[in-house]
Amino acid sequence: MSWQSNKKILLGIFCLNATIALAWTYMGAWMVLPFAGLEVLLVGLGMYYVSWKLSFKQVITLENDSFILQKGVYFPKQEWHWQRSQIRLIKTPNQYRMSAPKLQLQHLNQVVEVGDFLNRDEKKQLRELMVNLNIPLRTQTAGRTNY
């Protein structure tokens, strides 16, 4: 859901919570009121944190022989400009059988992980896309590298 949808849900929770807390306050249990506000605040902070974490993006731009990788949440906070001909994709299988492998891009001595927030199928699609774009793939196993 978008942050706008989350705010509407949070407003609904606030209205319901405020109604119940005000009813208890009217009956004399005024100590319920600050805890009701604290509850809505903590739920709102949790929803914001999850929404922020789910907004993380990586953008790959290919132009002729240039390769641009950008990472960030609302805007690019990190950016790499590489020559496309000098990039390698490194796939490292996860130690758990059903978990997604680790994908990294290597340019000369620099290694950057890509798609760390993707699931297994999405990483497979990313790997296939990179191979179709003629980016060489290396598979690493424990202590060994296969070309």
Q: Please name every residue paired with 90 in a beta bridge, in sequence order, or none if there are none.
A: 104, 138
Rounded Cα gap, residues 85 and 83, in angstroms: 6
Tell me 2's DSSP state.
-
* Rounded Cα distance, 147 and 90, in Å: 10
The domain ranges of the chain are 3-53, 57-142
What is the percent of the chain where pLDDT is above 90? 59
Q: Which pTM value belongs to this model? A: 0.68
Label residue 31 by pLDDT band (50, 70, 90): very high
* Higher-scoring residue by pLDDT: 99, 59: 59
Q: Strand ranges (DSSP E) for the chain? A: 57-63, 66-72, 76-83, 87-92, 102-107, 110-114, 137-141, 144-146
* Rounded distance between C-alpha atoms, residue 54 and residue 48, angstroms: 10
Q: What confidence tier does 37 reach under pLDDT thresholds 50, 70, 90?
A: very high
Tens-digit pLDDT profile for residues 55-87: 889 999 988 889 999 999 888 999 999 998 899
